[in-house]
Structure formats: C-alpha cells, structure tokens
Amino acid sequence: MAFSWDPARYLGYADHRARPFHDLLARVGAEDPRLVVDLGCGAGNLTALLPRRWPDARVLGIDSSEAMVGAARDAVDDAVELEVGDVRDWPARGLRPDVLVSNAVLHWLPDHLALLPDLAATVAPGGWLAVQVPGNWRAPSHALVAELAGRPAYAAHTRDVAEMVSHAPEDYLRALGTTGWEVDAWETTYAHVLTGADAVFDWISGTGLRPTVQALPPGLREQFEEELKERLRAAYPERDGVVVMPFRRVFVVARRR
C-alpha cells in the first residue's frame, strides 16, 4: 500500500543514517566515472556528496517520493540532476552508469533479490554497483512493530502493509553470480547512541514504521503508537541519559569486469 514520506522527520537522525553510506562508498574504487546514479536518493543530503567525490561526473538522483525529491532540490546544487521515478523502471531507461548506488532502498521491494541482476546489467563495463540495505528485521525495533500490528485491534488495517525484507550478504553475492563480477559483500552492526526515552520510536517513525501507522485510522493510530513506545522503552532502556540501538546493515559492492 502507498504511504508518504516526511523529509524533515527522516533527517532527524541524518548523521547516524549517513554512516553506512560513507562506508559503502569507501569500497567503490571508481576514479573517473562519466555517469553516477543514485537510485533512491531520498532527501538528497547524501546524493550531494557524490559530485564532491567525482566532480567531473554527471550525477543523477532518482526517488519515487515527490516530497523527498522536493527536499533534495534544496540539498543539492546544479551538479546533481533529480527525477521522480521507480527503481524497478531503471533497467528500461537504457542508461549505462559507471557507478550505480542504491542506499537503504531495495528493502522496500520484497522481490529485490530477483531485480538485482537487472539493475547490475545496466552498469557499464568496468563500472561499479554499490548497495546497502538494513538487516535488522529480527531486532525489537522492527519485530515489536510486526507483533503489535498483528493483534486483532490493528490487523484489519495493517494486513496489506508491504513487508520489508533483506537478505544475507552471501545471498546478494550469489544473485550477482561470479561470472563477470568481482563482488565484496559484508555486514556491519552499528551501535547507535541516541538520546531520549523514545529515541528508537522517533528513529523508526521516520522510516520503517510509516507504512504501518499510516494504515491506521485516527484514534487507533495514536493508541498503537503509545503501546509501541512502551514496548520499545522496555526493549531499549535509557541508561545514563542515552539509549543504545544496535542496527545491522548489509553491504554489496561489485565491479563489472
């Protein structure tokens, strides 16, 4: 089901969310790409870093959210082109990027493992594919949402909410295969230090929680949020004024031979 984004809320933890992007790009060895594409550019704060890394490249950012692309126009300069578009439509565009980046996007597509080879096929020979997806679906930050949304009071409204998925690093490696690609796949768990008793709720309310709460009608939505906050506070207790949220991420960087 469709849901909307709030760029300001998403950027509430911009520094924490940026760390995986920096770690992803650190493994990309492209020296002088002509075309760099960011699939799922979001609010553009990270896309804006691409022309700094490759100042002579054409940089294109694409996102399915008009609100996010609107925010991105304020975050980037003329060195970045921005478009509203669907990641799944990218293979049909016919463009051949030297660097294709997709940061924290593909998990919104349940079938993205099957889509990955088609995305990779658009990369120019000698080019690079860089993908990062959250891998923390078993963590309380997400498991508690699914558990609560499955209760009778909420399930009638949330049963059609799309399930976000990601896979193990080796699954992405196999999806790309070994012929024609040099693949580096790994995972990292960040220990994010947050402030505020409801910091974890605030974090997920800018991303993964949005489809669920927007599926609920007024009144029931507020009830759901209060119940969820209580559960999250118990799962991530505040100690010495901070909350620690472990967050697993999965990375794939591949070079086309």
181-217 pLDDT, tens digit each: 999 999 999 999 999 889 999 999 888 888 899 899 9
Provide the token pair at 85: 């578009």
Q: 161 CB contacts (<8 Å, ≥6 apart)?
A: 1, 149, 211, 212, 215
Contacts of 46-53 with CB under 8 Å at 24 or more apart are 46/18, 46/21, 46/103, 47/72, 47/75, 47/76, 47/80, 48/75, 48/76, 48/77, 48/80, 49/21, 49/25, 50/80, 50/101, 51/77, 51/79, 51/80, 53/25
- Residue pLDDT tens, the chain, 257 long: 455 555 666 556 678 889 999 999 999 999 999 999 999 999 899 999 999 999 999 999 999 999 989 999 999 999 999 999 999 999 999 999 999 999 999 998 999 999 999 999 999 999 999 999 999 989 999 999 999 999 999 999 998 887 789 999 999 999 998 678 999 999 999 999 999 889 999 999 888 888 899 899 999 999 999 999 999 999 999 999 999 999 999 999 999 98
Spatial separation of the C-alpha atoms in residues 99 and 47, rounded to whole Å: 13
Question: Is residue 17 within 8 Å of 58, Cβ to Cβ?
Answer: no
Domains defined along the chain, listed by start: 7-145+162-190+247-256 (3.40.50.150)
